[in-house]
Amino acid sequence: EDQVTQSPEALRLQEGESSSLNCSYTVSGLRGLFWYRQDPGKGPEFLFTLYSAGEEKEKERLKATLTKKESFLHITAPKPEDSATYLCAVQARNSSNTGKLIFGQGTTLQVKP
């Protein structure tokens, strides 16, 4: 069964304290892995797409990496405005036509000043 597991569920950091969020996946052929940021009461905001193992994408203080079994979202020197829930989702090759995504439960990040 296709599955996505994110850890930890919650993470508290001090401003400037770098860390990583994990997304482990089991899927029958990966078409793409997606990272989203979601602020309370709002819809998820697209961050990155990764397609193959070894790929990396960066945006400001965020860097996403991908292996054959997991993805990491590295946050370097976070600021309070990085506080949000980060969602990971995968799309299997056999659902390419429909675009159906499988979402993880998310990691809620709190960055304290």
Partner 1 sequence: DVKVTQSSRYLVKRTGEKVFLECVQDMDHENMFWYRQDPGLGLRLIYFSYDVKMKEKGDIPEGYSVSREKKERFSLILESASTNQTSMYLCASRDVSYEQYFGPGTRLTVT
Q: Please state whether the peptide bond connecting residue 78 to the residue before it is cis, i.e. omega within 30 degrees of 0.
A: no
Q: Is 1 in the site for partner 1 (CB under 8 A)?
A: no
Q: Is 31 in the site for partner 1 (CB under 8 A)?
A: yes
Among positions 8-27, residues that touch partner 1 (CB under 8 A) are none
- Of 12-20, 21-29, 43-51, 53-61, the window that binds partner 1 (rule: CB under 8 A) is 43-51
How many Å apart are CA 62 and CA 85, to the nearest integer? Answer: 14
Q: Is 98 in the site for partner 1 (CB under 8 A)?
A: yes
Among positions 50-89, residues that touch partner 1 (CB under 8 A) are 87, 89
Q: Is 34 in the site for partner 1 (CB under 8 A)?
A: yes
Residues 6+ apart with CB under 8 A from 39: 45, 84, 85
Residues 6+ apart with CB under 8 A from 97: none
**What is the three-class DSSP state of 1?**
coil
Q: Is 45 in the site for partner 1 (CB under 8 A)?
A: yes
Q: Is 46 in the site for partner 1 (CB under 8 A)?
A: yes
